[in-house]
Amino acid sequence: MVKRLLAGPWEHIKERFPDRQIYHRTEGQVRYFAVTTEMQLAAVAGVCLMAVWLAITSVNMVLSARAEGRAEQEMRIIAERHQQQLDEARAAEAAAIAYVESRTSAFDRTAGELQMRTNTLRRLLDFADDLSITRERASPSLDEGRILMAATTNDPSPRQALVEPARTAMDPNADPAQQRVAALLADQESALALVEESAENRLEKLRAVLRLTGMRVDEAARAGPLDAEGGTGGPFIPIDQAPIFSGGLDMDDPFNARIARIAARLVEAEQVEQLLTATPLALPIEGPHRRTSPYGSRIDPFTRRPAFHAGADFAAYRGAPIVSPAPGRVVYAGWRAGYGRTVEVDHGFGFRTRFAHLHSIDVRRGDDVTTGQRLGGMGSTGRSTATHLHYEIWFRGAHVDPEDFIRAGRYVH
């Protein structure tokens, strides 16, 4: 059945591929070999298989090429993405480095400014220490004590601080370095406030005592201390260019301007303190005594006519110690008409004191005397009715009321 079914197609194939013989001649002999239908079909089948294989291979190569192209494109995309990420990372790194450098530079500037401010503040404190303007320093007085301003009708309440130390609010979200810088700035501000308050309070108290004498402080300061009366001078150097501030100060900086202002106040306080030291505020007599005649108009005890009394009289026992009311130098010690045995002391800044009618003189002209040093003993020499001291205070060539100075001296303890 099968053979009959295949017989038709086989016959048709044999017609297409009949048996063939291929002859060839070699050395006079002719030979041949037969190429049967089966062989031809096998060859055709082989060629078809080869063609199919070539076609499949070509298709695979084309598909592979396309796949490789897509892979290469994806790789390029990935490479570009990675390059972009790398560039972004490098840019972020550069930005971070620039930020760190800027922060470092800002920190260096802040540290340099803090160091400069600290050095300037230290020089100011050293300058204040050299001038002896401190909170605990004893004021010039009879007993080297402190000036205590007692309350008066015009000043019933205790004096308050002139400068309130600045308080810097700390940001809780700030980093520790910023908090530390803020703390240092607050400490510097507090130190400056204390120095300024001390200088202002001291200057205010010194001026208050001097104002009680009735004299003008600026007028007395122009006269100069005792050692400077021979002449002073020199180029004008502002306080902000003084040697304590090496290189001078940039006055456009509020901190430097404040430093210069405080330094000027310290210098002013020192000058006023020198003036107060030279001011004859103490009593000219030690021990029990009584006032017998004030400064001003009175009836002359000899002529019984109105006259002007240029000093104040104090009565005590014969030989009672007469003392210097302030440091100074003896410029006269001897007999003077009308005054009897007399001692005159120059205290500087235009102040002179005169002690008349002495029984004895214990100093000589040219002697330097200190506050409370004995000058002589009370007596009744010269134009005198009884044992007493005639005490005069002269300021810049004019006599003034000693009672004003003695009253001011009560505020110096």
Non-local CB neighbours of 280 within 8 Å, separated by 6+ positions: 324, 325, 326, 347, 351, 353, 393, 402, 405
| Long-range contact pairs involving 136-145 (C-beta distance under 8 Å, separation at least 24) | 139/205, 139/206, 139/273, 139/276, 139/412, 140/273, 140/276, 140/277, 140/412, 141/281, 141/412, 141/413, 142/281, 142/282, 142/371, 142/372, 142/409, 142/412, 143/413, 145/412, 145/413
**Ranges under pLDDT 50 in the chain:** 133-168, 230-237, 239-241, 243-244, 246, 413
- 344, β-bridge pairs: 332, 354
- Which amino acid is located at 193 in the chain? A
The reply to whether the predicted model has a pTM over 0.75 is no
pLDDT of residue 221: 64
* Domains observed in the chain: 113-151+161-278 (no CATH), 290-409 (2.70.70.10)
Non-local CB neighbours of 3 within 8 Å, separated by 6+ positions: none
pLDDT of residue 350: 87
- Which amino acid is located at 90 in the chain? R
Residue-averaged pLDDT of the chain: 78
- Taking Cα atoms as reference points, which of 141, 311, 281 lies closest to residue 213? 281
pLDDT of residue 178: 72
CB-based burial label for 229 (10 Å; 0-12, 13-18, 19+): middle
d(CA 220, CA 343): 23
What are 385's two structure tokens? 């009715």
